[in-house]
């Protein structure tokens, strides 16, 4: 079943990938004893905001690799899964930039349709980040909402089901 018929499937694939880069894949909130923590995670980095306290060595901005080394208590496993999702997403981002810059050359050189490739990469990235979210649900002391992970799944499914029509 086709979800969408368009001659702009390539443009849609690039736009969906770039929009996914702007959306955080998850947002977490925890509060205890007058101290609140908000963590916003994008594909390769996070921002964390601590309200009600100042902690020594506080690092509001962290890359995924830095976050893995700083965490413990089971959260580092969720972050390791996040790192896998980040690598898959970075591959999608690299393909989308190449596809945007040199559309015909990318279509000629790749053995698969670039739109389907981007759809598959976004879908895999969303699934892996969803698995990381599931681990955070069980190991993070607060609430986690998988904002961008859901969008990655939707964008990936749409790109896999789009029908390209000739212009």
Is residue 32 included in any domain, yes or no? no
162/148 Cα distance (integer angstroms): 21
Q: Which of 98, 94, 69 is nearest to 83 (CA)?
A: 69
Rounded Cα distance between 166 and 154, Å, is 24
Flag whether pLDDT at 89 surpasses 90: yes
φ/ψ of 59, rounded to 5, equals: -125, 95
Does residue 19 belong to any structural domain of this protein? yes
Q: With beta carbons less than 8 A apart as the criterion, state whether 13 and 95 touch.
A: no
Query: What is the C-alpha separation between 52 and 55, in angstroms, rounded?
Result: 10
What's the whole-number mean pLDDT along residues 4-30? Answer: 90
Strands 35-41 and 45-51: antiparallel
Q: What is the mean pLDDT of the chain?
A: 90
Pairing state between β 26-32 and 143-145:
antiparallel
Would 42 be classed as within a structural domain? no
User: Number of structural domains, the chain?
Assistant: 1
Give pLDDT tens digits for 92-130.
999 999 999 999 999 899 999 999 999 999 999 999 999
**39 within domain boundaries:** no
Number of neighbouring beta carbons within 10 Å of residue 76: 17
pLDDT tens across 28-61, in order?
A: 999 988 889 999 999 999 999 988 887 777 789 9
Is 50 part of any domain? no
Is 46 within the bounds of a domain?
Answer: no
Domain-located, residue 99: yes
Would you say residue 88 lies in a domain? yes
Range of the domain at 86: 4-23+65-141+148-164
pTM (predicted TM-score): 0.90
């Amino acid at each position: 079943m086709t979800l969408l018929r368009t001659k702009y499937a390539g443009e849609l694939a690039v736009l969906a990938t770039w929009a996914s880069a702007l959306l955080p894949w998850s947002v977490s909130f925890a509060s205890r004893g007058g101290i609140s923590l908000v963590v916003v995670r994008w594909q390769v980095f996070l921002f964390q905001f601590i309200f009600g306290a100042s902690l020594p060595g506080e690092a509001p901005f962290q890359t995924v690799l830095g976050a893995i080394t700083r965490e413990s208590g089971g959260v580092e496993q969720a972050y390791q899964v996040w790192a896998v999702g980040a690598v898959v997403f970075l591959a999608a981002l690299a393909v989308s930039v190449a596809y945007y810059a040199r559309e015909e050359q990318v279509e000629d050189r790749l053995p698969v349709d670039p739109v389907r490739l981007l759809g598959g990469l976004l879908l895999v990235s969303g699934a892996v980040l969803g698995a990381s979210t599931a681990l955070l649900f069980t190991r993070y002391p607060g609430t986690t909402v998988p904002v961008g992970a859901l969008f990655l799944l939707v964008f990936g499914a749409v790109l896999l089901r789009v029908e390209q029509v000739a212009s």
